Amino acid sequence: MAAGFGRVSAKPPVEVAVTSFDPNAFVLANDQATPKNILKAAYEAFGELTVSFSGAEDVVLVDLALKVAPKDKVKVFSLDTGRLHAETYEFFERVRNHYDIELDIRFPDQQAVQALTSEKGLFSFYQDGHHECCGIRKVAPLRQRLAGLPVWVTGQRRDQSPGTRSKLQIAERDTAFGSDDQPLYKINPLTHWTSEDVWNYIRSFDVPYNALHEKGYVSIGCAPCTRPILPGQHEREGRWWWEDQGGKECGLHALNLPQAATS
């Protein structure tokens, strides 16, 4: 059993989490640990792991989490924006079957999507920027999913985005989706891994991967907002390429943007 606080104790678990988890101490203790051991430590701290799986190479998180925690303590969710590639939907299904897990696939709010598309059409992000659409299709469903949770696990890495992820820590308080009353922590086990490390893992352990990765895609998001990159391009150049480089976050990790907590 997990040595962590209280999901099974008589005392209310959330308060315990709030008072007992210190991200800085976690970083100090585990910063040099492998992703697997970071996940193990997180599981021991929280007694449960909720993994955000985007349908891309963060599938390694699913693979690793199931190695350090019992299946019923690993919750995996994905955000289906309604605009993903066919290959991504097929990959979700493959992962679900391969690991024999429940995959909690979240969907956007009907009224919000209809209001946006009926007013601005289906490609407003090319004119208005991606934040409005991401807000409706990704951020709101994520907020619903995270509500009340003490911790979530993400696949963020420092090498993904020089502009926004270079100061990423393996554990941090998520002030974007948590609150003072309901603190939320984020575990980023892949912080120090490079893209190459992730792909070495995928190939070494025969982890299933999204077929888009065989078509030149590195970073994968929604179909109209993702494109393959050229050899030598930074993976983030395949995302929202019509916008200024430097601050590319869909809002899931708004914490990485300057003053995110206050905006």
Residues contributing to the annotated binding site: 133-134, 222, 225
Nearer to a copy of itself, 109 or 128 (CB): 109
The residues that bridge with 78 in the sheet, in sequence order, are: 105
How many angstroms separate the CA atoms of 35 and 139, rounded?
A: 26
Q: Does 109 bind a copy of itself (CB under 8 A)?
A: yes
Q: How far apart are CA 140 and CA 85, in angstroms?
A: 20
Min dist. Cβ of residue 42 to a copy of itself (A)? 24
Q: Is 114 in the site for a copy of itself (CB under 8 A)?
A: yes
Binding residues for a copy of itself, total number by CB under 8 A? 52
Residue tagged 């407003």 (tokens): 124
Q: Which residue has the tokens 């086990």?
A: 189
Of 163 and 199, which has the nearer Cβ to a copy of itself? 199
Of the candidates 196, 259, 262, 263, which one interacts with a copy of itself according to CB under 8 A?
Answer: 196
Toward a copy of itself, which CB reaches closer, 25 or 86?
86
Query: Smallest distance, Å, CB 146 to a copy of itself?
Result: 15
Binding string, 41-80, against a copy of itself, x = CB under 8 A? ----------------x----------------------x
250 is an active site residue = yes
Binding status of residue 242 toward a copy of itself by CB under 8 A: no
Q: Which stretch binds a copy of itself (CB under 8 A): 4-12, 36-44, 155-163, 232-240?
A: 232-240
Inter-residue long-range contacts of 107-114, CB under 8 Å, 24+ positions, other chains counted: 107/80, 107/82, 107/141, 108/81, 108/82, 108/136, 108/137, 108/138, 108/140, 108/141, 109/136, 109/140, 109/141, 112/136, 112/140, 113/82, 113/137
Pick one of 4, 47, 108, 251: the residue that binds a copy of itself (CB under 8 A): 108
Q: x/- contact string, 77-96, with a copy of itself (CB under 8 A)?
A: ---x-xx-xx--xx-xx--x
258 is a site residue for a copy of itself (CB under 8 A): no
128 makes contact with a copy of itself (CB under 8 A): no
Instruction: Give the binding site for a copy of itself (CB under 8 A).
Output: 57, 80, 82-83, 85-86, 89-90, 92-93, 96-97, 102-110, 113-114, 117-118, 121-123, 141, 195-196, 198-200, 202-203, 209, 213-218, 223-224, 227-228, 230-233, 235
Active site residues: 250
